[in-house]
Amino acid sequence: MERLRIDKWLWAARFFKTRSLATEEIGKGRVQVNGAPCKASRELKVGDTVAMRLGALTRTVMVRGLSGQRGPAPVAQQLYEETPESLAAHAAAREQHRLAREPALSIEQGRPTKRERRELDDTVRGWGSRWSASLDDESGSSR
């Protein structure tokens, strides 16, 4: 096999779970072959460079082999070799993600916890030390 459709290769190399997803991403212009946008029917050959945007990260790989079948991950990893620049960008993104603050810590307001709701209810209703909602006077007698 000398040539293979790019959507089939991306699926076989396990970059996308289905060929439909690979075709969709190619159609959106997120995949380039040798620096040029491509169509799903573009045929790859060994030695081509494929750049794809997966989320916020752009991965650049060299095609080392062609396979029309989707196999296990170790076999799929032999179909390509990631460029050193792409590996460095991936490592930098991992490190930045590791050092980033927890998003939940930046939330100062939001839905109160159960304890905070109870405290709010006590202050809003003015119950304070009262334990009953009755309108009796403090002497305890009723009309």
What integer pLDDT is reported at residue 83 of this predicted model? 95
Backbone angles phi, psi at 82, to 5 degrees: -80, 140
Instruction: Please say whether the dihedral angle defined by the alpha carbons of residues 93, 96, 102 and 107, taken in this order, is positive or negative.
Output: negative
Matching CATH number, 4-99, of 3.10.290.10, 1.25.40.850, 2.40.30.110, 3.30.300.30: 3.10.290.10
What integer pLDDT is reported at residue 127 of this predicted model? 57
Per-residue pLDDT of the chain (143 residues; tens, 9 = 90+): 789 999 999 999 999 999 999 999 999 999 999 999 999 999 999 999 999 998 888 999 999 999 989 999 999 999 999 999 999 999 999 999 888 877 777 767 778 888 888 888 877 666 555 555 566 555 555 55
What integer pLDDT is reported at residue 53 of this predicted model? 93
What are the domain boundaries of the chain? 4-99
CB < 8 Å & 24+ apart, contacts of 2-5: 2/45, 2/66, 3/43, 3/44, 3/45, 3/66, 4/43, 4/44, 4/66, 4/67, 4/68, 5/40, 5/41, 5/42, 5/43, 5/44
